[in-house]
Amino acid sequence: MHFIDWSIVAIFALGLFGVAIYTKRYTRSVADFLAANRCAGRYLICISQGVTGTGAISFIAMFTMYYESGFTAYWWTIALWPIGLLMMLCGWIIYRYRETRVMTLAQLFEVRYSKKFRIFCGVLAWLSGVINMGIFPAVTARFFIVFCGLPQEFHVFGFAISTFIFIMTIELSIALLFTFLGGMVVVAITDMLQGFFCNIAYLVIIIALYFSFDWSQILTSLKTAPPNASMLNPFKTAHANSFNFAFFMMNIFIYIYTVRTWQGAQGYNCAAKNAHEAKMAGIIGTWRGLIQNTLILILPICAFTFLHHVDFAAKAQTVQQTISGLPAGEIRSQAMVPLALVQMLPVGIIGLFAAVMLAAAIGTDDTYLHSWGSIFVQDVILPFRKKSLEPKQHILLLRLSILLVAVFIFLFSMFFRENDHIFMYLTLSGSIYTGGAGSVLLGGLYWKRGSTAAAWSAMIIGGGLAFLGLMTQTAWPSLAPVLLKWFPASHFINSNLEKFPYDGMQISFFSVLFAILAYIGVSLWNWLVLKRPAFNMERMLHRGPYAIKGEHIDGKAVPVSGWRSLLPSKEFTGMDKLLHSGLTAWTLGWFLFFVAVTAYHLIRGTTDEWWGKFWLFFVILTIVLGTITTIWFSIGGIKDMRYMFKALRSAVADAEDDGRVKEDDLKVKTDSGEKAVVKT
């Protein structure tokens, strides 16, 4: 890191501090702290949530994946695009979630199921969340130590201080400060500005890579992969270790099942102006991610080229020597790309990328701290209270809870060492909650026959299997020798003494399957055998006689449903319809191409040369479109930020809007015999 590089990082960090201090004045109520008083526009949500969804740990995880699999990993994600399109166009989950006006998912579970179930889910969500987040500081700290060339320790007044602990402390302190200052208001605004910065930085870094590598060098390096573990041809990956066809098929299934279930960014789920804005934020999200996804794909592939092509052999040798001195396993694989980047990027660009990683770390950490801290208070503590807290007391309790989360994950990162790919760990630890919550959320919002008993069954079975799998996987190196004494003839144990044979994705997949079967089976039993009445969905969604004035732009109390929800409704403006058509054409066009190429390969076969030309075309196309969308989203984000400040200045604080479920919300549970109550 040159002085210029450090200066870029310092200026960026100081700028963020200034914005956070200015923005904190707009947080005056519990609703402000928890949900930015529900006045966030589509661009602000899309940009901010994009930063949250791709934190520093996500960068490192995807670097590891693309370094091992090359372009082939990206190909299978195209199969997911039409499914994602359908979900975005109809506002899958998010539209109905926003209609309920809840502030956390567990609050919705109290309205839909019961208070005891809310508390149970709050505890499980918090536990799963902090275990999932527990490795964030450690992975990020190791990245900066490697990338910035920092020593393992330094001395202050004669005392040796661990660089690893020091960086974790700085990283969490910044995120904690932003969250403390103004809750969701400060988090959303600073995350959006980080999104602006990152999108511009992505373009600059890609331009630098263009002048550093020739496409022929990249192709030559990728062709050195084993024949059945290709990094160019996605149909020749049968011998790939982890990121193979089965991995991506299970990943697609779990993605569909857990949409909006994971609560790491729960503040954004309830921060939109209305349900339509929440829906539009999802629709335009595809365009926002173009340039980011391209960079995340290209950087590790260029790093692979740097380490395997003869033209870079001299510099690559330095990297290989450093890597050989690191502990084997996941720590070494995580360091591979950062070490290569330091050698292959020029001065200034190194600092720019370091600032991007700092932004990604802060953007994820502050949002996750806010989410898990809020969930512990809102869904575990408050349901036990008969009276509401004063707003100042409530916000103080939220801050203390957020501090507790920060301390927990700091200690977790110090002592826990992951023994699986980051992706696998994140999927499995998240499944402790999402394994059952996916069924509970889908059934709760879309099936009036879903029962409370079914929800309990799904959460216990799905979460229990995932937690048992995580514990077994972590303890396997110590557990396997003990089991071998009991079962000395076991070929299964003998063949897998060092590492549990099933990865996080496989364990999560089966946890989800059993949770789905439990929810459907118990719900049908309650309906067909016990003859339990159906749930009153209109009341929960504030539709029909329970409608809230102004919640739907077109004035209708009940929005369209079924296949009509895929089409632009009266809530859509002319620009909304244009965005709708553009996204549909882009997604379906690529999916048809995916089907055509797959069919052609099965009939005639494809060559590495053809795939090399295709990937070059794909990269150029996404860079051009990504440049356009960067300008477009910057303009939209600035407009949304101005609107939020104006709305917060004029908002009248409502002390009752604090995330508690009122008795009036629970009076009518079934869809028969209820009284018409109009909310205004």
pLDDT tens figures, 580-625:
788 788 888 888 888 899 899 888 888 888 998 999 998 898 888 8
Statement: residue 392 has pLDDT above 70: yes
User: For residue 74, what pLDDT is reported?
Assistant: 82
Q: In the chain, pLDDT over 70 holds for what percent of residues?
A: 90
pLDDT given at position 459: 92
Whole-number pLDDT of residue 676: 38
Q: Which pTM was predicted?
A: 0.78
Nearest residue to 266 (alpha-carbon basis) of 113, 49, 432: 49
15-28: per-residue pLDDT in tens? Answer: 988 988 998 888 88
Residue 680 confidence class, pLDDT cut points 50, 70, 90: very low
- 15-19, 138-142, 547-551: lowest mean pLDDT where? 547-551
The arithmetic mean of pLDDT across residues 340-354, rounded, is 88
What are the residue ranges spanned by the domains of the chain? 1-74+117-225+284-416+608-661, 419-447+449-534
Query: How many helices and strands, by DSSP H and E, does the chain display?
Result: 27, 2
pLDDT score of 146? 83
User: What's the pLDDT score for residue 406?
Assistant: 93
Can you tell me the distance from the alpha carbon of 345 to that of 343, in angstroms, rounded to the nearest whole number?
A: 6
pLDDT more than 90, % of the chain:
14
Find the mean pLDDT for residues 123-152. Answer: 87
Q: Which of 222, 267, 325, 199 is nearest to 27 (CA)?
A: 267
- CA Rg, the chain, in Å? 25
**What is 296-361 written as a DSSP string?**
HHHHHHHHHHHHHSGGGHHHHHHHHHHHHTSPTTHHHHHHHHHHHHHHHSPTTHHHHHHHHHHHHH
Residue 285 binned pLDDT confidence (cut-offs 50, 70, 90): confident
The DSSP H or E segment spanning 143 is helix 136-147
Confidence of residue 308 (pLDDT cuts 50, 70, 90): confident
What does the pLDDT average to over 239-257?
A: 71
pLDDT confidence tier of residue 251, bands split at 50, 70 and 90: confident
Task: Name the least confident of 235-239, 412-416, 589-593, 669-673.
Answer: 669-673
Average pLDDT in the 368-392 region? 84
Cβ burial 125-157 (10 Å sphere, 16+ → b, else e):
bbbbbbbbbbbbbbbbbbbbbbbbebeeeeeee
* 673 pLDDT above the threshold of 50: no
Closest CA to 111 of 539, 518, 558: 539
Tokens of 492: 């299964």
The model's confidence at residue 311, banded by pLDDT at 50, 70 and 90, is confident
Residue 166 has what pLDDT? 92
pLDDT value at residue 669:
47
**Structural element, H or E, at residue 660:** none
For residue 381, pLDDT over 50 is answered with: yes
The separation between the first and the last C-alpha atoms of the chain, rounded to the nearest angstrom, is: 58
Residue 75 vs residue 567, higher pLDDT: 75
243 pLDDT more than 70: no
Q: What is the pLDDT of residue 330?
A: 65
Work out the mean pLDDT of the chain and round it to a whole number.
82
- Per-residue pLDDT tens for 629-671? 888 888 888 998 898 888 888 877 766 766 666 655 544 444 4
Contact 172, 130 (CB under 8 A): no
Which of the listed ranges 134-143, 364-373, 428-437, 510-519 does the model predict with the highest average pLDDT?
510-519
Average the pLDDT over 380-408 and give the result.
87
DSSP secondary structure letters along 50-96: HHHHS-HHHHHHHHHHHHHHTTHHHHHHGGGHHHHHHHHHTTTTHHH
| Highest averaged pLDDT of the listed ranges 67-81, 85-99, 171-185 | 171-185
Between these two residues, 173 and 38, which has the higher pLDDT value? 173
pLDDT recorded at residue 678: 35
pLDDT-derived band of residue 672, with 50, 70 and 90 as boundaries?
very low
Average pLDDT over residues 67-77: 81
CA angle 537, 539, 543 (to 5 degrees): 90
Lowest mean pLDDT among 43-57, 150-164, 226-240, 651-665: 651-665
Length of the chain: 680
pLDDT of residue 235: 83
Tell which residue, 481, 477, 478, has the closest CA to residue 501: 477
Give the pLDDT score at 65: 81
